[in-house]
Chains A and B, each alone.
Chain A
Amino acid sequence: MAKIVIDGVEHEVNPGNNLLQECLSLGLDLPYFCWHPSMGSVGACRQCAVIQYRDADDKEGMLVMACMTPATDGAIISIEDEGAKSFRSDVVESLMISHPHDCPVCEEGGECHLQDMTQMSGHNYRRYDKKKRTHHNQYLGPFINHEMNRCITCYRCVRFYGDYAGGTDLSAQASHHHVYFGRHEEGVLESEFSGNLVEVCPTGVFTDKAFSENYSRKWDLQTAPSVCVGCSVGCNTSPGERYGSLRRIVNRYNSEVNGYFLCDRGRFGFDFVNNRDRLLEPVQRIDNTGELLADDQVKALIKEFKAEGTIGIGSPRASNESNFALRVMVGEENFYAGYSDVEHESMQVILDLASDTAFHTPSVREIEAADAVLILGEDVTNVAPRIALALRQSVRNKAKDLADESRIPQWQDAAVRELAQHERSPLSILSPAISRLDDVASDRIIESLSAVVSMGHQIAEKISASAPNAAASTEHSQLIEKIAMQLKAAKRPLIIAGNSNGSDMIKAAANIARALRDDSDKSAIDLCLLVPEVNSVGMALMAGAENRLGAALEKLQSGEAKRVIVLENDLYRRAAKAAVDAALTKAEKVLVLDQLPTATTANADVILPATAFSEHEATYINYEGRAQLSFQVHQCQKQAQPSWRWICDAEHVDDLVERCCNEALGFERLREVLPGENPFVAGMKVPRQSHRYSGRTAMIANINVHEPKQMEDKDSVMSFSMEGIPAQKDASVLASSWAPKWNSNQSISKFQDEVNGELKQGHVGCLLIERKDSSGSYFEAAEELIEPSAKQLRVVFSYQIFGSDELSARSKPIQARMTDAYIGLSPVDAKKRGLNQGDVATISPLGSPAVICIRTGIKAGTALLYCGDRNISPADFSGLIEVEKSAIQTTSRGIGSLIVSDFHEEEISS
Chain B
Amino acid sequence: MVANPLTKNIDMSRPPLDIAAYEANDGYQSVHAIAKGLSPEDVLELVKGSGLKGRGGAGFPTGLKWSFVPRGDNSPKQKYLVVNADEMEPGTFKDRLLMEGDPHLMLEGMIIAAYTIQASKAYIFLRGEYTVSDQALRKAIKEAYEKGYIGKNILGTGFDLDIIMHTSAGRYICGEETALLNALEGKRANPRAKPPFPQVSGLWGKPTIVNNVETICNLPGILTYGNDWYHGLTKGNDHGTKLFGVSGKVKTPGCWELPLGLPIRELLEGYAGGMQDGLELKGFLPGGGSTDFMLPEHLDITLDYDEIAKVGSRLATGTMIVLDDKTCPVGMVGNLMKFFAHESCGFCTPCRDGLPWVDQIFRDFENGEGSEKDLQILHDHVTYLGPGRTFCALAPGATAPLGSGLKYFKEDFEKHITQKRCSYKH
Tell whether B356 is near chain A: CB-to-CB under 8 Å.
yes
Select from chain B the residue with minimum beta-carbon distance to A83.
B383
B341: A residues at CB distance < 8 A: 176-177
How many Å lie between the Cα of A176 and that of B189 in the bound state? 12
Q: Give a binary string over A256-286; 1 marks a CB under 8 Å from any B CB, 0 the rest.
A: 0000000000000000000000000000000
How many Å lie between the Cα of A856 and that of B356 in the bound state? 50
How many Å lie between the Cα of A406 and that of B284 in the bound state? 44
Closest-CB distance, A39 to chain B (whole angstroms):
14
Contact A175 B205 (CB under 8 A): no
Contact B343 A176 (CB under 8 A): yes
A176-B341, A412-B193, A414-B192 as given contacts; A46 in contact with B201, CB under 8 Å: no
Q: Give a binary string over B337-349; 1 marks a CB under 8 Å from any A CB, 0 the rest.
A: 0000111111111
B390: A residues at CB distance < 8 A: 46
Contact A62 B388 (CB under 8 A): yes
How many Å lie between the Cα of A44 and that of B350 in the bound state? 10
A45-B348, A63-B388, A419-B201 known; 10 new pairs, CB 8 Å cut-off, are A47-B349, A90-B380, A90-B384, A153-B353, A174-B346, A175-B344, A176-B342, A177-B344, A415-B196, A418-B192
B360: A residues at CB distance < 8 A: 130-131
Contact B192 A87 (CB under 8 A): no
Contact B196 A45 (CB under 8 A): no
Contact A176 B357 (CB under 8 A): no
A side interface size, CB within 8 A: 44
B residues 173-208 with Cβ under 8 Å of A? 173, 188, 192-193, 195-196, 200-201, 204-205
A-B contact pairs, 8 of them (CB 8 A): A43-B193, A44-B391, A45-B349, A94-B352, A98-B353, A128-B357, A176-B355, A418-B201
A128-B357, A172-B188, A176-B344 as given contacts; A90 in contact with B195, CB under 8 Å: no
Contact A177 B196 (CB under 8 A): no
- Ranked nearest first, the 6 interchain pairs of A and B with the lowest CB-CB distance are A179-B346, A94-B353, A176-B344, A419-B205, A419-B201, A130-B360
B353: A residues at CB distance < 8 A: 94-95, 97-98, 153, 177
Contact of A94 among B342, B346, B350 (CB under 8 A): B350
Contact B205 A421 (CB under 8 A): yes
Select from chain A the residue with minimum beta-carbon distance to B390.
A46
A90-B384, A176-B346 as given contacts; A153 in contact with B192, CB under 8 Å: no
Name A's B-contacting residues (CB within 8 A).
42-47, 49, 62-64, 68, 87, 90-91, 94-95, 97-98, 127-128, 130-131, 133, 152-153, 155, 172, 174-179, 402, 406, 408, 412, 414-415, 418-421, 423
How many Å lie between the Cα of A27 and that of B356 in the bound state? 36
A44-B391, A97-B353, A408-B201 as given contacts; A175 in contact with B193, CB under 8 Å: no
Select from chain B the residue with minimum beta-carbon distance to A130.
B360
Select from chain B the residue with minimum beta-carbon distance to A408.
B196
Tell whether B373 is near chain A: CB-to-CB under 8 Å.
yes
Tell whether B262 is near chain A: CB-to-CB under 8 Å.
no
How many Å lie between the Cα of A95 and that of B356 in the bound state? 12
B282: A residues at CB distance < 8 A: none
B residues 352-366 with Cβ under 8 Å of A? 352-357, 360-361, 364
Closest-CB distance, A72 to chain B (whole angstroms):
13
Among A153, A176, A420: residue with most chain B CB under 10 A:
A176
Closest-CB distance, A127 to chain B (whole angstroms):
6
Tell whether B389 is near chain A: CB-to-CB under 8 Å.
yes
Closest-CB distance, A66 to chain B (whole angstroms):
14
A97-B353, A414-B192 as given contacts; A43 in contact with B380, CB under 8 Å: no
How many Å lie between the Cα of A418 and that of B178 in the bound state? 11
Contact of A418 among B205, B348, B355 (CB under 8 A): B205
Tell whether B377 is near chain A: CB-to-CB under 8 Å.
yes
A43-B193, A176-B343, A415-B196 as given contacts; A91 in contact with B349, CB under 8 Å: yes
How many Å lie between the Cα of A46 and that of B24 in the bound state? 55
Tell whether B171 is near chain A: CB-to-CB under 8 Å.
yes
A414-B192, A415-B201 as given contacts; A176 in contact with B349, CB under 8 Å: no
Select from chain B the residue with minimum beta-carbon distance to A175.
B346
Contact A178 B357 (CB under 8 A): no
How many Å lie between the Cα of A323 and that of B417 in the bound state? 80
Contact of B373 among A127, A421, A423 (CB under 8 A): A127
Closest-CB distance, B367 to chain A (whole angstroms):
12
Contact B196 A406 (CB under 8 A): yes
Contact A178 B346 (CB under 8 A): yes
B361: A residues at CB distance < 8 A: 130
How many Å lie between the Cα of A64 and that of B349 in the bound state? 14
How many Å lie between the Cα of A286 and that of B345 in the bound state? 72
How many Å lie between the Cα of A393 and that of B344 in the bound state? 32
Select from chain B the residue with minimum beta-carbon distance to A64.
B388
B373: A residues at CB distance < 8 A: 127
How many Å lie between the Cα of A618 and that of B377 in the bound state? 59
How many Å lie between the Cα of A238 and that of B192 in the bound state? 37
How many Å lie between the Cα of A493 and that of B378 in the bound state? 58
A42: B residues at CB distance < 8 A: 193
Closest-CB distance, A68 to chain B (whole angstroms):
6
Among B193, B200, B380: residue with most chain A CB under 10 A:
B193
How many Å lie between the Cα of A406 and that of B341 in the bound state? 35
How many Å lie between the Cα of A375 and that of B193 in the bound state? 36
Contact of B348 among A43, A131, A172 (CB under 8 A): A43
How many Å lie between the Cα of A889 and that of B377 in the bound state? 68
A46: B residues at CB distance < 8 A: 348-350, 389-391
Select from chain A the residue with minimum beta-carbon distance to B353.
A94
A94-B349, A97-B353 as given contacts; A127 in contact with B205, CB under 8 Å: no
B200: A residues at CB distance < 8 A: 406
Contact B347 A155 (CB under 8 A): yes
How many Å lie between the Cα of A408 and that of B192 in the bound state? 13
Closest-CB distance, B158 to chain A (whole angstroms):
27
How many Å lie between the Cα of A97 and that of B349 in the bound state? 11
Among B201, B341, B349: residue with most chain A CB under 10 A:
B349
How many Å lie between the Cα of A179 and that of B355 in the bound state? 14
Closest-CB distance, A421 to chain B (whole angstroms):
5
Contact of B346 among A64, A68, A87, A153 (CB under 8 A): A153
Select from chain A the residue with minimum beta-carbon distance to B361.
A130
